[in-house]
């Protein structure tokens, strides 16, 4: 019977990690539904980006206040998690503060003391974050796409962190021998007096309960990630690694189009040439994107990485002037649709069955796509190098090349380019007239 | 104004130092043509042996590409590349950041590999090489703010060339609250120039003009014919055309050097 807690702990740990692994597999499968794109080149540049932007948070601090608070929470999260290692060992082997004996009182006290200070700082930062989301009138947290689940999701994460930090400190405050040793309790020593009136048994009960809820909370939080915008804590790393390294103004040249254009412009091409054998059965490649499976895997990884901070939307000229377009919504819609496609595949035994829906129209309206000025402000702003513009462009390509559904004025512009090599109706023969005018 | 074409150079069996890609706006738009002419005057003052394509130039296809018409873009690109490669063009300069971006970044993989400069970069080089002197007395004391064109700034990380030139004019360069990486678009990019904006509560060029006017400038400088149009319209909307001018950097130099 005395091993019951150990067994229960091992089971909880295995379930938590197992369930998480299963979901990560699903996530990885969904990302791989995207088209291939080569992002395995220029490894050292990619690695440098990951270190600077994801690990070093270099783009977060462009907005200093939220950037600073974010670094506090981020550093706190990573460092305090060292403590989880001790908790896991204690839980599995029934030990208590195993590192205290291993590291000695001084070093252990220093470590736990650091964790306590960080926990308190994280707690304060998280409170400020909550106030920013719920009390301050910060426009990017109040947009249309932030109603309902996205808002609750943001708050849930903050509540999780508040509770976990509190439990960590309470667990230390009610650990009588730990308080008596008085090393590494710079914060919890001020909480300990709150529990003065309790008997040793009750104190022990509170300490054990906090310990258990704390570790179970961490396992639940781990599994919450998959359903939440909070995945960025993991995906920011691959996302910055695989991000586009070319100049932001350089859009891809569609290879399928190049082949056709070359054929059209080649005077020696035989228009009646029979297709290569087997080619008749091939479905011709779709130009542009109307659904998530037309996007590439980096764009899908982007969608899972987005933590909906809205810096993109708050810098988007279209959004700032009241248009429907919100780059954040483009990313959220892409993820929502991708998850829908994923569930469809799960339900139908590993194969996607047409559900009559797609990313275009059912999630993203053409009106949003046409409002984009391709200015790259959203791409520049994203603290983890997400590229909403590439999705917008791929969807415009579908609208124009597959559906001929450009706004009328753009059709006129394109007709002019086709007929007379300029966006306006001027003859190419008049191109040098400016030199003759005074 | 005498401007030689690549065909003229070819007939003489010569190669110019650089090809000036005028672009569609620079060729046809009345406001942009003034920028084209100002830049030609600068090239002449610095004794740059340049040529244009003239009637052999066609739209780069940039606007079509941003509108989503990859077919039309690549057709235009391949036609232009055929002409450019036929003349063995190596270096290109243009006053249009959109042409600059597409020639520099999107033409290479289609077979058009050139060294491409935005005119502010090229002018900056002329100055550092000592080929062009800027008179810093003519415009002395004016307050100038610079609006970063998206396709020069964020798209290609060129922020300093235009500012370096402005500082040499002897003027006061003031920055808008949104500048360089965080500059707000003028509203013309992504083929918006050629269509009505979607429904909203304001036009983008008006918002950007407000950014500029907040610096109380005499001149809003820019380096893009489309930004120029948008900001000029913004100034008219704000009824400030009597106090504030919108000028391309090439025009400012032409004015300073009394060309």
- For residue A208, being part of any structural domain is answered with yes
**pLDDT value of residue B4:** 98
My answer on whether A290 and A410 are in the same domain is: yes
Percent of chain A scored above 90 by pLDDT? 89
Cβ-count burial of A85 within 10 angstroms (0-12 exposed, 13-18 middle, 19+ buried)?
exposed
**pLDDT value of residue A354:** 97
My answer on whether A128 and A231 are in the same domain is: yes
Percent of chain B scored above 70 by pLDDT? 100
Q: If you average pLDDT over every residue of chain B, what do you get? A: 98
My answer on whether A135 and A68 are in the same domain is: yes
My answer on whether A114 and A167 are in the same domain is: yes
Residue of B26, B62, B71, B250 to mutate, testing the A interface (most A Cβ within 10 Å of its Cβ): B71
- For residue A438, being part of any structural domain is answered with no
What mean pLDDT do residues B250-255 have?
98
Give 3-state DSSP helix, strand, coil % of chain A, rounded to 5: 70, 0, 30
In three-state secondary structure terms, B50 is strand
Q: What interface predicted TM-score (ipTM) does this complex get?
A: 0.96
Facing residues of A239 across strands? none
Q: Of A189, A219, A241, which residue is a domain's last?
A: A241
**pLDDT value of residue A273:** 62
Q: Do A320 and B184 touch (CB under 8 A)?
A: yes
Range of the structural domain that residue A194 is part of: 4-31+63-241
DSSP letters, A328-396, are: HHHHHHHHHHHHHHHHHHHHTTTS----S--HHHHTB-HHHHHT-----HHHHH-TT---HHHHHHHHH
Cβ-count burial of A36 within 10 angstroms (0-12 exposed, 13-18 middle, 19+ buried)?
exposed
Q: Reply yes or no on whether the pLDDT at A70 is more than 80.
A: yes
**pLDDT value of residue A263:** 85
Q: Which of B61, B68, B157 is closest, CB to CB, to A288?
A: B68
The model's pLDDT over A359-407, given as tens digits with 9 standing for 90+, comes to 999 999 999 999 999 999 999 999 999 999 999 999 999 999 999 999 9
DSSP conformation class of B170? T
My answer on whether A168 and A228 are in the same domain is: yes
**In total, how many domains does chain A have?**
2
Contact list, A379 vs chain B (CB under 8 Å): 154
Q: Which of B72, B78, B105 is closest, CB to CB, to A418?
A: B72
Contact list, B104 vs chain A (CB under 8 Å): 247
B157 in reach of chain A (CB within 8 A) = yes
Q: How far apart are CA B33 and CA B243, in angstroms?
A: 23
- For residue A100, being part of any structural domain is answered with yes
Q: Reply yes or no on whether the pLDDT at B17 is more than 90.
A: yes
- For residue A281, being part of any structural domain is answered with yes
Confidence of residue A319 (pLDDT cuts 50, 70, 90): very high
Q: Of A241, A276, A293, which residue is a domain's last?
A: A241
**pLDDT value of residue A279:** 53
Q: Do B5 and A432 touch (CB under 8 A)?
A: yes
B contact residues 67-86, partner A, Cβ 8 Å cutoff: 67-72, 74-76, 78-79
My answer on whether A123 and A204 are in the same domain is: yes
Q: Reply yes or no on whether the pLDDT at A1 is more than 80.
A: no
Residue of B30, B34, B198, B234 to mutate, testing the A interface (most A Cβ within 10 Å of its Cβ): B198
**pLDDT value of residue A194:** 94
**pLDDT value of residue A276:** 55
- Go through B190-200 and write b for each residue having 16 or more CB atoms within 10 A of its CB, e for each that does not: bbbbbbebbeb
Closest alpha carbon within chain B to A323: B200
Q: How far is B131 from chain A (nearest CA, A)?
A: 24
Question: How many helices and strands, by DSSP H and E, does chain A display?
Answer: 19, 0
Closest CA to B179 of B136, B141, B211, B201: B211
- For residue A215, being part of any structural domain is answered with yes
Q: Of A183, A211, A241, which residue is a domain's last?
A: A241
My answer on whether A127 and A213 are in the same domain is: yes
- For residue A166, being part of any structural domain is answered with yes
Q: Reply yes or no on whether the pLDDT at A277 is more than 90.
A: no
What mean pLDDT do residues A190-209 have?
94
What mean pLDDT do residues A270-275 have?
61
Q: How far is B160 from chain A (nearest CA, A)?
A: 17
The model's pLDDT over A205-263, given as tens digits with 9 standing for 90+, comes to 999 999 999 999 999 999 999 999 999 999 999 999 999 999 999 999 999 899 889 88
pTM of the model: 0.95
Closest alpha carbon within chain A to B104: A250
Structure tokens at A156: 């849930």
Is residue A423 within 8 Å of residue B225, measured between CB atoms? no
**pLDDT value of residue A437:** 87
My answer on whether A354 and A230 are in the same domain is: no
The model's pLDDT over B135-169, given as tens digits with 9 standing for 90+, comes to 999 999 999 999 999 999 999 999 999 999 999 99
My answer on whether A98 and A188 are in the same domain is: yes
Q: If you average pLDDT over every residue of chain A, what do you get? A: 94
B241 in reach of chain A (CB within 8 A) = no
What mean pLDDT do residues A112-133 have?
97
My answer on whether A80 and A12 are in the same domain is: yes
What mean pLDDT do residues B41-64 have?
98
Q: Reply yes or no on whether the pLDDT at A280 is more than 80.
A: no
Q: Do A410 and B194 touch (CB under 8 A)?
A: yes
My answer on whether A158 and A122 are in the same domain is: yes
Q: How far is A336 from chain B (nearest CA, A)?
A: 24
Residue of A378, A382, A423, A427 to mutate, testing the B interface (most B Cβ within 10 Å of its Cβ): A423
**pLDDT value of residue A262:** 87
Q: Reply yes or no on whether the pLDDT at A272 is more than 70.
A: no
- For residue A435, being part of any structural domain is answered with no
At A376, which CATH number? 1.10.1060
B106 in reach of chain A (CB within 8 A) = yes
B203 in reach of chain A (CB within 8 A) = yes
Facing residues of B220 across strands? B145, B246
My answer on whether A222 and A267 are in the same domain is: no
The model's pLDDT over A139-160, given as tens digits with 9 standing for 90+, comes to 999 999 999 999 999 999 999 9
- Number of Cβ atoms within 10 Å of the Cβ of B157: 13
Facing residues of B21 across strands? B94
The model's pLDDT over A2-58, given as tens digits with 9 standing for 90+, comes to 889 999 999 999 999 999 999 999 999 999 999 999 999 999 999 999 999 999 999
- For residue A70, being part of any structural domain is answered with yes
**Between residues A270 and A233, which one has the greater pLDDT?**
A233
Closest CA to A319 of A150, A143, A154: A143
**pLDDT value of residue A271:** 62
Contact list, A253 vs chain B (CB under 8 Å): 70, 74, 106, 109-110
CA atoms within 13 A on the CB side of B196: 5
């Amino acid at each position: 019977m005395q091993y019951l807690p150990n067994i229960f702990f091992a089971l909880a740990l295995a379930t938590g990690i197992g369930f998480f692994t299963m979901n990560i597999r699903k996530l990885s499968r969904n990302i791989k539904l995207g088209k291939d794109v080569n992002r395995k080149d220029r490894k050292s540049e990619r690695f440098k980006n990951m270190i600077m932007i994801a690990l070093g948070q270099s783009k977060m601090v462009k907005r200093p206040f939220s950037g600073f608070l974010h670094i506090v929470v981020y550093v706190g999260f990573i460092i305090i998690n060292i403590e989880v290692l001790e908790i896991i060992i204690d839980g599995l082997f029934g030990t208590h503060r195993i590192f205290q004996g291993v590291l000695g009182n001084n070093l252990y006290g220093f470590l736990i003391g650091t964790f306590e200070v960080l926990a308190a700082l994280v707690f304060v930062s998280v409170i400020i974050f909550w106030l920013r989301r719920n009390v301050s009138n910060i426009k990017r947290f109040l947009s249309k796409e932030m109603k309902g689940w996205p808002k609750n999701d943001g708050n849930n994460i903050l509540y999780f962190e508040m509770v976990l930090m509190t439990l960590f400190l309470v667990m230390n405050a009610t650990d009588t021998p730990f308080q008596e040793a008085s090393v590494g309790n710079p914060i919890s020593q001020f909480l300990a007096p709150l529990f003065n009136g309790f008997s040793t048994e009750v104190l022990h009960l509170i300490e054990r309960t906090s310990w258990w809820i704390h570790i179970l909370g961490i396992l639940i939080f781990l599994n919450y990630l998959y359903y939440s915008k909070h995945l960025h804590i993991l995906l920011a790393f691959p996302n910055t690694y695989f991000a586009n390294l070319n100049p932001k103004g350089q859009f891809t040249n569609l290879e399928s189009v190049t082949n056709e254009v070359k054929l059209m412009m080649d005077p020696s091409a035989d228009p009646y040439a029979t297709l290569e054998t087997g080619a008749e059965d091939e479905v011709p490649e779709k130009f542009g994107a109307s659904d998530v499976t037309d996007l590439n895997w980096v764009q899908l990884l982007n969608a899972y990485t987005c933590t909906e901070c809205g810096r993109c939307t708050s810098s988007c000229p279209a959004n700032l002037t009241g248009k429907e377009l919100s780059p954040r919504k483009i990313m959220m819609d892409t993820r929502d649709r991708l998850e829908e496609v994923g569930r469809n595949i799960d339900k139908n035994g590993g194969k996607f069955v047409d559900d009559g829906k797609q990313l275009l129209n059912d999630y993203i309206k053409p009106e949003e796509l046409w409002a984009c000025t391709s200015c790259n402000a959203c791409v520049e702003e994203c603290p983890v190098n997400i590229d909403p513009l590439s999705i917008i462009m791929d969807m415009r390509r579908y609208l124009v090349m597959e559906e001929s559904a450009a706004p009328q004025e753009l059709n006129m512009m394109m007709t002019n380019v086709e007929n007379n090599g300029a966006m306006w109706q001027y003859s190419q023969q008049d191109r040098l007239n400016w030199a003759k005018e005074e | 104004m005498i401007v030689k074409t690549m065909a003229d150079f070819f007939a003489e069996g010569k190669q110019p130092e650089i090809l000036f890609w005028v672009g569609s706006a620079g060729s046809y738009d009345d406001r942009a043509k003034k920028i084209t002419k100002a830049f030609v005057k600068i090239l002449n003052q610095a004794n740059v042996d340049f040529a244009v394509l003239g009637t052999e130039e066609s739209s780069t296809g940039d606007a079509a590409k941003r509108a989503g018409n990859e077919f039309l873009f690549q057709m235009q690109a391949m036609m232009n590349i055929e002409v450019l490669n036929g003349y063995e063009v190596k270096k290109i300069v243009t006053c249009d950041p959109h042409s600059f971006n597409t020639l520099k970044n999107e033409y290479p993989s289609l077979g058009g590999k050139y060294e491409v400069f935005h005119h502010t970069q090229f002018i900056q080089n002329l100055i550092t090489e000592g080929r062009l002197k800027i008179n810093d007395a003519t415009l002395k004391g004016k307050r100038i703010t610079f609006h970063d064109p998206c396709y020069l700034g964020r798209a290609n990380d060129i922020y300093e060339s235009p500012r370096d030139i402005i500082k040499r004019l002897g003027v006061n360069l003031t920055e808008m609250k949104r500048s360089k990486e965080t500059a707000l678009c003028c509203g013309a990019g992504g083929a918006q120039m050629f269509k009505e904006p979607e429904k909203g509560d304001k036009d983008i060029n008006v918002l950007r003009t407000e950014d500029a006017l907040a610096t109380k400038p005499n001149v809003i400088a820019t380096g893009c014919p489309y930004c120029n149009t948008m900001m000029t319209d913004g100034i008219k909307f704000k009824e400030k055309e009597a106090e504030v001018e919108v000028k391309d950097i090439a025009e400012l130099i032409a004015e300073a050097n009394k060309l």
